[in-house]
Amino acid sequence: MGRNFTKPMTTYSISTNSSSSFNHNSIFVHPINYNPSQSIRSGAKTVTECFMHSCADFPDKPFLGTRNICEGGLLGNYIWKTYRQVQNIALRISEGLQKLNLQSSHGKLLGIFSKNREEWITIEIACLLQNITSVAIPEAINSEDLAYIIKQCWLSTICCSKAQFDQIMRTKDSFPSLKFIISFEKIKSDVKSLALMSGITVIEYEELLENFPATLLTYPEPSSVFTISYTSGTTGSPKGVILTHSNLISVILSSELDDRALTSKDSYLMYLPHSHIFDRCFFYFIVNGGGRVGIYSGDYNNIKSDLESLRPTIFISVPKMFNRFYELINQKFNETTGLSKNLLTKALAKKSKKYEETGKLSNSILQKITFGKVKNFLGGNIRMMVCGSAPISGEILRFLRIVFSCPIIEGYGLTESSGPAFITHPCDTTVEHIGGPIPGVEAKVVGLLEVEYPSNENYVIGELHIRGPSIFKGYFKCETDQILDTDGWLHTGDIVQRFVHNGSFKVLDRIKNIVKLSHGEYVSLEKIESLLLRSKFISQIFVYGDPFASVLVAVVVANKEYVMNKWSRDKKGDKTWEEICQSKKLKRDILSDFYEISSRQLLEKYEFIKNVYIEKELWTEENLLTGTQKLIRYKANNYYKAVIQSLYHEP
């Protein structure tokens, strides 16, 4: 799909087999030789040592930044704490944590339950200094899953911010193990008394800072558990992924081996949930290089302002945000007229041609003028962007590389692989693939019995299995037999295609997202969702295929901005948003747009959407999305069960 095979920029993977032929038994690795006994440049063997080395090397360099709140609630500049200052705070906190007796039959466990903020980080670093395992709880989680995590870990102590504190207090009697809550904000005395009646002592974060810095530290071993990271779970209850210090260090080492390591000149905006491994892993890339971390102001609506104030060198995000950039920039470009429009069109065409031919993203004087404002959209300092968690359209990726004048690399990984397992090269101009395995990761493409995929001399298709020092040790109190075999291979559940010409991999779908319709055709639900998201009418989509039916239906969340400001205005209507979403005309137009997209993409007729239901409210992490904005399909199936039945029965 739009791949350029004539000019591969790099070799992404090689086979360890002596045979020149590739099959489902072949093992693929990064071309760079990986020595498992090799250390990272600082010599650190644990995440704790990594942090302490940076404190020694960059003691007075700015490390953690938080936006200043000015009079009237206006956001000011970033206020910075140095590596030395953060270290001192963490030492004081670690002394306070020692007094809470966090020891359990599974070691010392401490829950952290909050949106991104400075206290999240200082608590986590305090855990590093005392070999305490942090239990990362997604900030937007329902009470049922929260209770499941607290009971499974039998947590005695949780650190949280006000919103999460209130959530715990509403169901406080459901947590018999909970003895302490460390609140990041001040709590009223009557609320503390109410908590105490349920056996819970509330400690304010500021109280921990009153301790003297700890002098007796308990450093972890490489095999010590760094974190239990709970995934939101797309198929059931959250799972606690056990990651060790050596798991994280191996990922840092791989970044150094293939020159992806960050430096003390780098900085990034921490706005993706830190409880998720994507941000957490990237944070320690920054720590390893002695860089700066600017924490977002707490409101996603202010991210543009945060970026302008921070002026970071690196921007990491998920497709949803990059898609939004694409929409906003295109909208601005489409509003230009006359000479400006002509200059813009020429600049885009000329730069696109140069990029495809040379891989260079540098600007001419005219292009600097044309694309300058776009680059300043992210602060003006960005040298690299990273997109992860889900596939992104090649068309969008190419466009954003051109207008931002910056490489955008794609990554693939899981919590179970300690974050990145595959990554593309910054100079590669091709799109819609995930590059190759990082140094240290082995990969193989295993044939599927359930679905027959073609393979030939140009590519092989099957389920992706990966192995290496970054792979997790198991799930906390859960079986791992179905995902982690006795030879150490992690069965990802992702169907991939490996191309022979340059060793790159492309994710085709999830095994669990493939359904067999009544006539025997196999359909990839996620592939269709990804294609139809190009429709200007929708913001989100859930495609459903009934095994006893021959067609597909979908639930869509309408794009309120476009429908209200463009579609509805053109219809000269005067209806409420709820009335518009119930409009038969809007439904017909969405289905018509889906038909055009499906036809252009050469989908089979059984892959076309027969009927849709229009939802008026966006899905969030509080109902149907994971922390990385992925649809929790089993929840969507249950929530829209009656709607789906009605879609199939409508004439």
pLDDT digits (tens, 9 = 90+) for 530-544: 889 989 999 999 999
Continuous H helices in 243-337: 245-257, 277-289, 303-310, 319-335
- Regarding whether 533 and 500 lie in a shared domain, the answer is no
Categorize the per-residue pLDDT at 27 as very low, low, confident or very high, splitting at 50, 70 and 90. very high
- Residues 206, 212, 216, 221, CA torsion sign: positive
pLDDT of residue 134: 97
Indicate whether 165 pLDDT > 70.
yes
- CA–CA separation, 650 and 32 (whole Å): 57
- The confidence score (pLDDT) of residue 570 equals 62
* pLDDT tens per residue across span 460-506: 999 999 999 999 999 999 888 789 999 999 999 999 999 998 999 99
Residue reference for tokens 């109410």: 194
Structure-token match 């400001």, residue found: 565
- How far is 20 from 4, CA to CA, in rounded Å? 23
Are residues 186 and 247 located together in one domain of the fold? Answer: yes
Identify whether residues 211 and 335 lie together within a single domain. Answer: no
Strand order from edge to edge, sheet including 14-15:
14-15, 28-29, 442-446, 459-467, 490-499, 505-510
Mean pLDDT of 82-89: 98
Round to whole Å and give the CA distance between 70 and 76: 6
- Under a CB-based contact definition with an 8 Å cutoff, are residues 469 and 440 in contact? yes
- For the CA atoms of 371, 376, 380, 382, the dihedral, rounded to the nearest 10 degrees, stands at -80
- 41 lies in a domain? no
Q: Which of 267, 284, 310 is the last residue of a domain?
A: 310
Instruction: Tell me, yes or no, whether 93 lies in a domain.
Output: yes
**Number of helices and strands (H, E) in the chain?**
21, 29
What confidence tier does 202 reach under pLDDT thresholds 50, 70, 90?
A: very high
- Domain co-membership, 96 together with 185: yes
Q: Is residue 5 part of a domain?
A: no
Residues 561, 501 share a domain = no
Q: Which residue, of 479, 511, 543, is where some domain finishes?
A: 511
Which of these, 129, 109, 123, 120, lies nearest to 477 by C-alpha position? Answer: 109
426 domain residue, yes or no: yes
Nearest in space to 7 (alpha carbons), one of 412, 502, 363, 594? 502
- pLDDT of 576: 87
How sure is the predictor about 21, in pLDDT bands with cuts at 50, 70 and 90?
A: low
Query: How far is it, in rounded angstroms, from Cα 601 to Cα 590?
Result: 16
Q: Using alpha carbons only, how large is the chain's radius of gyration in Å?
A: 25
- Sequential DSSP letters for 127-171: HHHTTPEEEE--SS--HHHHHHHHHHHT-SEEEE-HHHHHHHHHT
Residues 423 and 161: their CA atoms lie apart, in Å, by 34
Name the average pLDDT for the chain: 89
Q: In terms of domains, do 258 and 231 share one?
A: yes
Give yes or no for residue 451 having a pLDDT over 80.
no
Q: Show Cβ contacts of residue 286 under 8 Å, excluding neighbours closer than 6 positions.
A: 262, 266, 267, 268, 292, 293
pTM of the prediction?
A: 0.85
Query: H-type helices in 390-455, by residue range?
Result: 394-404
Contact at 8 Å (CB) between 470 and 421? Answer: yes
Residue 94, pLDDT above cutoff 90? yes
In this structure, of 139-148, 251-260, 324-333, 365-374, the range with the lowest mean pLDDT score is 365-374
Same structural domain, 103 and 252: yes
Asked whether residue 2 is domain-assigned, the answer is no
Provide the pLDDT confidence category of residue 236 given band limits of 50, 70 and 90: low
Same domain, 182 and 282: yes
Q: Indicate whether 428 pLDDT > 60.
A: yes
CATH code of 140's domain: 3.40.50.12780
What pLDDT score was predicted for residue 586? 93
pLDDT, residue 232, reads: 66
Say if residue 488 is in the same domain as residue 499. Answer: yes
pLDDT at 219: 95
Tokens of 560: 């309120």
DSSP, collapsed to helix, strand or coil, labels residue 584 as helix
Q: Which of 459, 493, 511 is the last residue of a domain?
A: 511
Q: Indicate the length of the chain as a whole number.
A: 651
Residues 417 and 342 in one domain: yes
In a domain? residue 377: yes
Q: Which residue is it, tokens 């960059």?
A: 58
Q: Is there a domain that residue 329 lies in?
A: yes
Instruction: Give dist(CA 502, CA 13) in Å, integer.
Output: 7
Q: Which has more pLDDT, 73 or 152? A: 152
| First-residue to last-residue Cα distance in the chain | 35
pLDDT above 50 for 5: no
Residue 313 or residue 341, greater confidence: 313
pLDDT at 267 over 70: yes
Closest CA to 209 of 315, 119, 290: 119
- Predicted local confidence at residue 8, as pLDDT: 43
75 and 139 inside one domain: yes
Cα 581 to Cα 266: distance, rounded to the nearest angstrom: 45
User: What's the whole-number mean pLDDT along residues 185-208?
Assistant: 95
Q: Which two tokens stand for residue 129?
A: 């200094």
- Give the domain range for residue 169: 47-310
Same domain, 563 and 494: no
- 321-370: per-residue pLDDT in tens? 898 888 888 888 888 888 778 888 888 888 888 888 888 887 777 667 77
Alpha-carbon distance of 347 to 356, in angstroms, equals 14
- In this prediction, residue 143 carries a pLDDT of 86
Residue 302 has pLDDT above 60, yes or no: yes
For residue 397, pLDDT over 60 is answered with: yes
Q: Is residue 4 domain-resident?
A: no
State percent of the chain over pLDDT 70: 94
| pLDDT per residue as tens digits for the range 565-614 | 878 766 656 788 888 999 999 999 999 999 999 999 888 899 999 999 99
Total domains in the fold of the chain: 3
pLDDT at 413 over 70: yes
CATH of the domain at 536: 3.30.300.30
